[in-house]
Structure 1
Amino acid sequence: MSNIVVRLANGLLRKLPPSWRAAIPAIPPPTPRNLWLALAAAVAIQNAAVFQSSQSEHTTVFAVLVWGGAVICMEDQFEDLNPRPAAWGLILGTLLLVWVLARSSVIVHWDGLLFALAPIGGLSLGLMAEKPARLGRFRDPLLCLMLLPGFALLMRILPEAPISLLTARLSGIWLSILGLDVVVNSRSVLLPGGGVKVLGPCNGLDLMAQILCVGVIFLLAFPIRSWGSRCLLFLVAPLIGLLCNTFRIALLAIFAGNGHSKGSWWFDFFHQSTGSLVFSGVAVLIFGMVYMRLLERELPPLPSPPPQGEGT
């Protein structure tokens, strides 16, 4: 059946003008490897679509990042990938995948099981590609996918009240450095014209958990051998997330103090719209710079160039 589809598609392509046909890539042959890769891509896209339709933009971006990390961890295996599953593993993987798709269709806004569907889907793909004894080759991609339930767990474990109070205090410090007349009262950051109140969804918990999980992805994809550097990364990651969110809260307080409070475009853009992702991107960029600096310390020094005039 798949061969017939490919032949029909190639027949339609041959009817197009040569200039159009040259711009369209050829359809890969329906080998077991290509079919498995297409199925894996479909599972990842479907999972990301469920996050997009039921969760915040921050969580959706994180889900896409986790799937991207899984791809990076498996990139060196794509060339020699040749699915040869056990019969019962293929059946079990298929049943798990069907259940994942069925369960995804009834996801509501906050459903903790949503965060477990990605690693279950990844396990089902593994069972459809290899015998159970060889599932170890998918260890790093599966660990990446496990970061989604890990993220949900961190969001429940990390204390909300102390982080909210610390976020308000640090935001007030940045505003005072700018010379603004700021008053911090518990969770409230107040300026003469208005202010903001730091509640649970705005205290940066999600950003701190995301940067921690990004650190795990980096360690899996680009390992650092030094345990000291690893511990330092896990101490720095939530601090970077916290600080970047305090800059966002300080910016929102400035908007509110100048009459652009909740309901105005600028405030809503940086509060709960795409603008808040700017600070997530900055946090990931800063963490990436720290990570690359620590990684470079473990690389051997480049060989010194030969003296001028010396023959090669």
Structure 2
Amino acid sequence: MNWIMHLQKPAFWLLAIFAAIAALHLTLFNRANETDLFSISLLFWIAAGSLIWEKRHQLTLESGAFASLLGTGLLAIVLLRSTALPEAGLVLRAQPFVAVLGVALLASGFRGLYQYWKELMIFGSLVLYTLFELLLKSIDLAPLTARISTLLLLYAGFPVKREGVFLRLPTGGVEVYGGCSGIHSILFMLCVAVLFLVMVPLRSPFQKAVCVVVAALLGFLVNSLRVAFLAILNAYSPKEVFEYWHEGSGSMIYAMISVVLFGAFCWLAFLRSPRTTSDPIQGSEAGSQESGVRSQEAGVRNSPKRLSSHRVQEPE
């Protein structure tokens, strides 16, 4: 039977392990109530699965004894750590990288590890997530976010006053603390930028740098717009509406806006094909042909005149 033949293939079991680890990791992020990390992890697993599916016929599935033993050990460590239900920290963020590394060693060994460099780079950004988070927290973006949000409210016509990190309207206000300063939005967009660069590699280092910088700026600016919007809701709307857009399901729309704007920028700047213009050589050839036709027509028109003048000069 066909399903029995599939069970006898090592690729089937490797695919099953990959899918099981993806489901386990997403479940742990969902229990940790990390909405942003759950969303980006879901995108990462989909991207990694699509990359492996595209090159499934070109993969070299040959592994040695030591590589297989090491890969099995890494997968066992991931499973044992998952039973403790770790919180959303470095351990949980590093689990996909360790798991994919274990599956790659189990499938292709050390020599074939290069075949999975894109997948390892994708999940490696989650490992660096904590490092960049500490770096951005040391900068303290809350005062800058408060200033940008104040400018947005002033341009929109609201009588807002800023006192440090407090935005005060006549009937209410908000405080921009560390969680609302834009750190998570910037890190989320940086992960999206890494995913884009892996899926759509750009040749120029300048384009790669622009892509990363634009992603970080969009994350920060959209978060500033979010703070301004929350200040308006806290001043002029019921508390339930504010909570919905602050920590409820409505908070996901800001990440969607950032991703849509980033996708539009990448399409306009890198992916859009330029308009096709006519070849100058072909255009010159066409112009010469057209001028030749015109000269021939003019010659045909002038030839009777030359004949008639010649006939007048003939003696009778």
Check the 8 A contact 2:159/2:170 in 1, yes or no: yes
Aligned to 1:146: 124
For residues 240-255 of structure 1, what are the structure 2 equivalents within 5 Å? 240-255=218-233
Equivalent AA in structure 1 for residue 263 of structure 2: G
Shift of 1:273: 2.1
Check the 8 A contact 2:34/2:88 in 1, yes or no: no
Say which of 130, 145, 160 aligns to 2:108.
130
**Could you tell me the TM-score, scaled by structure 2's length?**
0.82
For residues 26-41 of structure 1, what are the structure 2 equivalents within 5 Å? 31-41=9-19
Check the 8 A contact 1:194/1:259 in 2, yes or no: no
Q: Deviations over 1:90-141 (max 9, x none)?
A: 2221121011011022134343211111100010010111021111000011
Check the 8 A contact 1:67/1:144 in 2, yes or no: no
- Could you tell which deviates more after superposition, 68-77 or 122-131? 68-77
Aligned to 1:98: 76
CA distance in 2, matches of 1:281, 1:119: 25
Using a 3 Å threshold, how does the CA distance of structure 1 residues 255 and 301 change in structure 2: closer, same or farther? closer
Aligned to 1:89: 67
- Could you tell which deviates more after superposition, 107-116 or 197-206? 107-116
Q: Secondary structure at the match of 1:143?
A: helix
Check the 8 A contact 2:44/2:195 in 1, yes or no: yes
- Could you tell which deviates more after superposition, 60-69 or 273-282? 60-69
Structure 1, gaps ≥5 residues long: 8-26, 308-312
Equivalent AA in structure 2 for residue 274 of structure 1: S
- Would you say 1:120 and 2:95 are equivalent positions? no
Check the 8 A contact 1:72/1:221 in 2, yes or no: no
Say which of 209, 212, 218 aligns to 2:187.
209
CA distance in 2, matches of 1:30, 1:165: 60
Check the 8 A contact 1:160/1:205 in 2, yes or no: no
Aligned to 2:256: 281
RMSD over aligned Cα atoms: 2.5
**Could you tell me the TM-score, scaled by structure 1's length?**
0.82
Aligned to 1:220: 198
CA distance in 1, matches of 2:124, 2:80: 20
- Would you say 1:267 and 2:245 are equivalent positions? no
Structure 2, gaps ≥5 residues long: 284-316
- Could you tell which deviates more after superposition, 36-45 or 154-163? 154-163
| Structure (1/2) with the larger helix percentage | 2
Give the count of matched residue pairs: 282
CA distance in 1, matches of 2:212, 2:58: 34
Larger radius of gyration: 2
